[in-house]
Every structure is written in C-alpha cells, then in structure tokens.
Homo-oligomer: A and B are copies of this chain.
Amino acid sequence: MNTVASISNQLDPNQLAPIRVQPETLAESALELARLVLVRGPISRGELAREMKLSVASLTRLGKPLLDSGLLVEGPLVADGTVGRPVRLLDVPTDAAWFVGVKVTGESLQAVVTDIRATILAEAVLPLPEKSAAAVVAGIAQLSTQLEAQAGVTATGVGVSLGGQVRPDGVVHRAPFLDWKNVPLQSLLQDRLGLPVVVENDVTALVAAEQWFGAGREVPDFAVITVGAGVGYGLTIRNHVIRTVDTGLGLGGHFPLDPNGPLCAEGHRGCSTAMLSIPSICLQISAALGRPVDYGQALDLAADGNRAAAAVLEAAAKSLGILIAAATNLTMVNTVVLGGEGVALFAAKEATVLAALTAGRDPEAAPVKVRVGSADFTEWARGAAAVAIQAQAFIH
C-alpha cells in the first residue's frame, strides 16, 4: 500500500470538506512524529530526531508525506543570526481542525471548542433539563452547533467526558450523577452529529489533556488530583495514562485522611471527599455558622479570620497535603497536578498543604513538584476536547 498516495487523495482540491486526519494509514513512526509536532509545538527536524531517537535522514523521509498531505506544515526559514543554514520548523496547521469538548454533569453541559492544540476558542454552558440520554445528546448537538458558529469553525471531532465508568467502546457503564447504566452515548452522539465522538471519564480526560498539553510535556510520570464536587484522582506513568477496569469509580475519592474529620455520604470518616470536596467544606462551615455559605465566602471568611471557616479550611489543606504525600509515596511519582475549582484552597493555604506534604515525605526524598492547574470549569470541557484530539491522532 502506498501511504503517500492514500494521504494525498485527501488533498484533492475539488474536495472542499475540511482536511480529515486519517492516521490509520500512517505507520507507527509517522504517527509518533505527528504527535510530537502537535505536542512540542513548532520544532526542528534535528530536535525531533533526538527526541524520537532517529536519524535526520529518517525525519526527512517521515515528514515528507505528512507535509505533502497537509497534516504538518513548515514554517518560514528562521535565521537567528548564528552561522549556518537556518532551520525550517515543523508545525501542525492550527486552522484545519477543531474540536468540541463537552463535560456532562448532572445539572449542565459545559462545552468548549478548541483548535488541535486544545486552545480554547469559545465556550458555552447549557443547563440540563433532565438526565436522560436524549436530553444530553440534544444538548450536545445544540452546543456543538452554537460553538461552531461562535468560533466560525467546523468541528472535526467531539469529545465528551463525565463522572463515571466509560467502556473503551464509548458505552457509559455507570454514571451515578446521571443515574445512567450502560448508555451507548458514543454511538448515539455519532449518529446524531455525524462526527467522530469519543466518550471518556472526566478525570481521565483531564489527565489526558495534562499529558499532551500540560505537565506531561515535561515529565513522564505525574498524578492529578482534582477537588470540586468530589475528589478525583488520575495517574500517568511512563507517558501512559493509567486506565483500568476501575477507572471512573473514583478510587481516590474516599481516601482516609483525617480520623477526626466529618463523614461523607458513604459513611467514611474524614475521607478525601469529606475533607476536601467543596460541598463538604461549605456544609461544615454553614453548620458551624448557622447560615448557608458558599465556597468563595468560605475562603473570604477564613481570610478575614473567621475561626470556624479557618479551622475547616486548615483541616482541608492539611488533608490535601496528606493526600499528595500518600499518592507520591505509593506511586513514586514526584509531580502532582492539582485541578478543579477547589485548587483555590491550595492558593489560599499553600503553606499548610506543603507542610503536611513535607511531613508525610521522607526528609531525604526528592521534593514533590506541585503544579496548580486552572480552576476554571472549562478545564473539564477542554479535557474532553483533548481526548477527541488524541483519538483523531490515533495514539493509544
């Protein structure tokens, strides 16, 4: 089979549809090249050769069909003033493919449209009238159309993420927040949208986004901890997002942290959800003060010296440090990315978190690098877009 020819067919000028990535016709190393160019931005062949452990000759050969087909583009010659022939950087065309990412919660759909590097171009939210699959499908279709119009682009793929277990075939095995069991969301959406759709667990999607477009660009091993309505946990080891049959069950969500903490709904005293989740923190402070308090108010109250709020947040911060210590000790990673709206806790109580983390680590151990992601809810939708991007790039 001639790879070059089969790609070039897609460039038929009579075909006005957007260029569609069809990497199943690409060999392993060509795929890896495309992935690296996507992830490492504009990059020279020399650096790619080092990174891929290939010769520059191979890079010329591998790059040729990708450039011919338009999957990659070459920048202009950049003369940096030094002696020698200037480099011509390889890049991905960022105006050829766009992706819609949607995070499904029990109450709403949060959506973004991104370019191929998961850069957000537009965002939108839609309340979910009911938790039926039909409502979700209709909502995603509406958001998709709306966002395409907003950004003036045509989506080439859609990623959907939600809290729950998602099977590799895109069937939602179990999603407690939606009361779903075995909903074939991917095929439903694909039929409706006529586009490739990927469905993934929300935390896993966030980890995937982080792996390609965040911390993973620099380190091969890291954990992700999200704090929000619940506590999420994900892991990347040796550049691979760990996915198991239990992914989506939220095994990091009820990790014991404080024997004197409050109870979670499952009856775990002082588990990560009880100590860290936003609802639990707000409820504790509300109960103490005898009036409803939201998360922002909680942080403000603590900053203003309110004792109840300060005590709750102090305990939460300490618990977060303990959780980070436990995760790094047992997984042996030394980078942790924090995500979710609850990262505001880290910003407010960084010293407490780090003190608890240090206490839980061997004094001789390498320091843990804690990276704070965006607290913006759009990060979740961006994660969904990232898995759509990854799926279209066909890297496993």
Contact = CB atoms under 8 A, between A and B. Distances in A.
B362 A332 contact: no
Interface in A282-322: 322
B256 A360 contact: yes
Interface stretch (A16-24, A98-106, A242-250, A345-353): A242-250
B366 A329 contact: no
Please classify how large the interface on chain A is, using the bins under 10, 10 to 19, 20 to 34, 35 or more.
Answer: 35 or more
A212 interface: no
B233 A330 contact: yes
A352 B334 CA distance: 33
Contacts of A364: 174, 246, 249
Given A237-B237, A238-B238, A365-B249, A256 B322 contact: yes
Nearest to A245: B366
A40 interface: no
Contacts of A223: 330
A199 interface: no
Interface in A337-396: 360-362, 364-366
A256 B329 CA distance: 11
A251 B326 contact: no
A334 B246 contact: yes
B330 A361 contact: no
A329 B362 contact: no
Contacts of A329: 251-252, 255
Contacts of A152: none
A331 B334 contact: no
Interface string A249-285: 1111011100110000000000000000000000000
- Residue with the greatest number of chain B CB neighbours at <10 A, chosen from A246, A329, A361: A329
A74 B238 CA distance: 36
A180 B361 CA distance: 22
Given A174-B364, A252-B329, 4 more contacts: A233-B330, A252-B330, A255-B326, A255-B330
17 contacts: A174-B364, A238-B240, A245-B366, A246-B332, A246-B362, A246-B366, A249-B365, A251-B329, A251-B332, A251-B362, A255-B329, A256-B322, A259-B260, A326-B330, A327-B330, A330-B331, A331-B331
Interface of A: 174, 223, 233, 235, 237-238, 240, 242, 244-247, 249-252, 254-256, 259-260, 322, 326-332, 334, 360-362, 364-366
- Closest 5 pairs between A and B when the two form their complex, measured CB to CB: A251-B329, A259-B259, A330-B330, A246-B365, A249-B362
